[in-house]
Structure 1
Amino acid sequence: MSPARVGVIGAGVSGPVAAMLLKQKGYDPILYERLDAPSDAGLGIALQPNGQAVLARIPGLLEHIDAYPVDAFHFYSVLPEDPGLLGTSDHPRRLREATGLGALAVRRSLLHQRLAEFAQRLGVTIRYGHRLEALAQEDDGVAVTFANGVRETFSFVVGCDGLHSGTRVCLFGDTPADYTGLCQWGGLSPTPDFWKGKHAAVDLYGNGTYMLAVSMSDSQTGWAIAQREPETKEEWRSIDAAAAENFKNSSPCGEWPYGARELVKNSTKIVKYGIYDHPELKTWYQGRVVLVGDAAHPASPYLGQGANQAYEDIGLLIDLLDKHNPSAESPSTETLTVVFGELVRGRLPRTADLVKKARAQGEMRTVSGVEECIKRNNFYRDMCSDPAKMKARFGV
């Protein structure tokens, strides 16, 4: 019999990885993306050791992504009443030396491009310009209709289409995402002299405002500033030139020390986006269709675990398919129910916990009032002195 034909919806951060791992196991995946090309939206993504462990199952992929190693974390306070270095940690470097896997940073647009390239190199078909419109479950397959009129049938479907997942809407209806109350401004800038050669991720804490800066290469740094603002859509698109210039001239962070001023003033790209998560789903599947990653459990970015949790989902899904359907032929609905059910039971508690912890981290980093800010600063001082607490910060 021929291998099962699998529809993978979404060619962003997780879809190509799911398709490549399915291909390795003998399935016939086809990847569909609503955009006409790999997305150039967004700024950077952290690839943590737990996510890298899944990517490493695809020989040569991590080398092709060519992400930038992060060797250290630095924490600073710019609060006038409690300024200065809160602490540092070389946890990422030590972890890399011990296990071969540490923290990596990569531009989001570059990750999209490199994943798509490698998937196509492995023989995965990617069809751009296909926006999911409807799913129809059948006894032995799923009929998928796209907005351009194309209709395809698959043995099963994996929804990897992110926060605004069309797959999730088809399964469970349109439930709006929850705005966390935090908005982020972000950009890409030449690396300030203060941080050149340090391969660092830097947290800067103010009164009601938080800034993260991460080395993306020897010469470029990505940064994001979180603060409370009225709801802003999560689109990750560049703002117009006038708005960008106004931000550069008016943001208090543009006067902060430790390289912050240079990052804001010299940014070559500025985006603005709201931070959202989603009401917890009690299940991620229906019949022959399953959700993974942000389509199932979108989280705030403050643990750096978004993409990595998607990769954990995919890794377990592949393992369960290998266990219950080793032939890679089209599985029965009963078999898929077992596979998808074990996936949800194995992953939902962990992802739900991380969604809550990520939102709590965002709240802590943007607290207002001198007393509360000093409490926050002391929390990070303590964390830097305790390797176990440092490890827990990143959810791995």
Structure 2
Amino acid sequence: MTPVRVGIIGGGIVGPVAAILLKQQGYDPVIFERNDTRSEAGIGLGIQRNGLLVLQRIPGLVESLAGHTLDYFHFYSTLAEDSGVLGQLDGPKRRREQTGVGTIGIRRSVLQLALISAAERAGVEIRWGHHLNTLEQTEDGVTLSFANGARETVSFVVGCDGLHSDTRKALFGEERADYTGLTQTGGFAPMPEQYRGTSTAISVFGDGLPVDETTMSWAVTAREPEAKETWRAMDDAAAEDFKRASPVAQWDHGAGELVRNGVNVTKYGLYDRPELPTWHKGRVVLIGDAAHPTSPHLGQGANQAFEDAGALADLLAAHAPAAEPTTTAALEAAFQELEAARIPRTTFLVKRAREQGETRVVHGVPACVERNEFYRKLLADEALMRQWFAA
């Protein structure tokens, strides 16, 4: 029997994972990516335990990742009236020691290369330069039309194409992407001496995330006018202006050193989209940021996308096995069960991430002291931490 053809829209972080998991079940997935080649965009990602558990389903992948173990998270305040350590967490270390799975930091571009390479080794076809224009559904398939004139008919479609999802637009029409009022500017820098030889991520109401033995990625969140999300690095002059003018460049605890020494500096706005009551229509389903875009302040964007991919693969195995004719009714049963399981969790975490961003970027001494007290209390109570982050 000819394998069931599946269209995966988006070859960033989650698309290759979804494709590999479906390939393992006997489907014939093909990835359609709008870019002409893999991207060097983005800074660092923290792949947490929930994300790594999904990636472990791909043989040999996690062991091959050129990332850095993150065992500790340290939180600092640089406010002159209330400076010092707010809290130190060793939860990732304890979970790694207890279960063998913890947290790693990795460059986004390195992770994408590893995932693309794993997909190719698994026999997944990747078509670069395919920007989705429209999709037309029939009783037994979906015809995809692309900006380059190509057309392809598949059995069903998984939209993994991020915040500016063309799949989402094709299903539900144009939507406004609402600017949150916050930007992030980030890059890479040599690891400050005080953190070398450690497995520590720092948060100085900016972030420092080790991505290898000698390098940290960093990001500064600020409340300022809108900056479009192009994911392109600043030119050298703009990067130098930022490093010279940013107050963070003078902070201690290593934060200022990271900013002053930053390279590949990128600036982008943070956006929200309306919450979707459903992620699918007929034979097409959305996962990851296409379904539930999130700000980065919990570090759960990629991890929740991986959870989506794992859950979708499991539900398709139960409702629409690759060896059987794939009916719309079977697909919708899988998609509806996916939504029932995933929408409550992702909605909670999207809201928490937004709250984290708003909480961190406050102005004035009283507001900053109040924020610091909130974090001291939160970081000292593991049960409260689990409740707050739904971990």
Regarding TM over 0.5, the answer is yes
Question: Hey, what does 1:162 align to over in structure 2?
Answer: 162
Equivalent AA in structure 2 for residue 269 of structure 1? N
Question: Hey, what does 2:239 align to over in structure 1?
Answer: 244
C-alpha distance in 1 between matches for 2:362 and 2:247: 16
Equivalent AA in structure 2 for residue 246 of structure 1? D
| Structure 1 length-normalised TM | 0.96
C-alpha distance in 1 between matches for 2:302 and 2:35: 19
Please say if 1:262 is aligned against 2:257: yes
**Structure 1 residues 272 and 327, CA gap change in structure 2 (3 angstroms):** closer
CA shift, 1:349, in A, is 1.1
Equivalent AA in structure 2 for residue 318 of structure 1? A
Question: Hey, what does 1:52 align to over in structure 2?
Answer: 52
Is there any run of 5+ residues in structure 1 with no aligned partner, and where?
205-209
Question: Hey, what does 1:281 align to over in structure 2?
Answer: 276
Question: Hey, what does 1:386 align to over in structure 2?
Answer: 381
SS in 1 for 2:118: helix
Question: Deviation digits for residues 329-376 of structure 1, max 9, x if unmatched?
Answer: 441011111111111111111111111111001001111221121111
Question: Deviation digits for residues 5-55 of structure 1, max 9, x if unmatched?
Answer: 000010001000000000000000001111111111110111111111111
SS in 2 for 1:158: strand
CA shift, 1:143, in A, is 0.2
C-alpha distance in 2 between matches for 1:334 and 1:59: 32
Question: Hey, what does 2:177 align to over in structure 1?
Answer: 177
CA shift, 1:212, in A, is 0.6
Question: Hey, what does 1:207 align to over in structure 2?
Answer: none
**Structure 1 stretches of 4+ moved >4 Å:** none
**Structure 1 residues 288 and 75, CA gap change in structure 2 (3 angstroms):** same
Q: Within 5 Å, which residues of 2 pair with 1:372-383?
A: 372-383=367-378
Please say if 1:360 is aligned against 2:355: yes
C-alpha distance in 1 between matches for 2:148 and 2:300: 34
Question: Hey, what does 2:215 align to over in structure 1?
Answer: 220
| Structure 2 length-normalised TM | 0.98
Equivalent AA in structure 2 for residue 382 of structure 1? K
Please say if 1:197 is aligned against 2:200: no
SS in 2 for 1:232: coil
> How much identity, in percent, do the aligned residues show?
54
C-alpha contact 2:210 2:217 (8 A) present in aligned 1: yes
Question: Deviation digits for residues 99-140 of structure 1, max 9, x if unmatched?
Answer: 111111110111111100011011111111111111000110
CA shift, 1:327, in A, is 4.1
Is there any run of 5+ residues in structure 2 with no aligned partner, and where?
none
Please say if 1:107 is aligned against 2:107: yes
Please say if 1:319 is aligned against 2:289: no
C-alpha distance in 2 between matches for 1:11 and 1:197: 34
Question: Deviation digits for residues 217-273 of structure 1, max 9, x if unmatched?
Answer: 111000000010111112221011111111111111111111122111111221100
C-alpha distance in 1 between matches for 2:253 and 2:348: 33
SS in 2 for 1:87: strand
C-alpha contact 1:155 1:330 (8 A) present in aligned 2: no
C-alpha distance in 2 between matches for 1:62 and 1:328: 29
**Structure 1 residues 221 and 392, CA gap change in structure 2 (3 angstroms):** farther
C-alpha distance in 1 between matches for 2:70 and 2:386: 15
**Structure 1 residues 327 and 19, CA gap change in structure 2 (3 angstroms):** closer
Aligned length: 391
C-alpha distance in 2 between matches for 1:215 and 1:159: 31
- Which range moved further: 283-292 or 56-65? 56-65
Q: Within 5 Å, which residues of 2 pair with 1:36-51?
A: 36-51=36-51
Question: Deviation digits for residues 177-201 of structure 1, max 9, x if unmatched?
Answer: 2211101110100111121112211
C-alpha contact 1:5 1:330 (8 A) present in aligned 2: no
Equivalent AA in structure 1 for residue 260 of structure 2? K
C-alpha distance in 2 between matches for 1:232 and 1:372: 25
C-alpha distance in 2 between matches for 1:271 and 1:238: 4
Question: Hey, what does 1:65 align to over in structure 2?
Answer: 65
C-alpha contact 1:212 1:225 (8 A) present in aligned 2: yes
C-alpha contact 1:277 1:355 (8 A) present in aligned 2: no
Q: Within 5 Å, which residues of 2 pair with 1:318-357?
A: 318-357=313-352
**Structure 1 residues 393 and 196, CA gap change in structure 2 (3 angstroms):** farther
CA shift, 1:57, in A, is 1.1
Question: Deviation digits for residues 28-87 of structure 1, max 9, x if unmatched?
Answer: 000111111111111011111111111111111111223211010101100111011112
C-alpha distance in 2 between matches for 1:71 and 1:48: 11
Root mean square deviation, CA, Å: 1.1
SS in 2 for 1:368: coil
C-alpha contact 2:133 2:145 (8 A) present in aligned 1: yes
C-alpha contact 2:199 2:210 (8 A) present in aligned 1: yes
Please say if 1:140 is aligned against 2:140: yes
Equivalent AA in structure 2 for residue 9 of structure 1? I
Question: Deviation digits for residues 290-328 of structure 1, max 9, x if unmatched?
Answer: 000000000111111101111111111111111112344
**Structure 1 residues 381 and 273, CA gap change in structure 2 (3 angstroms):** same
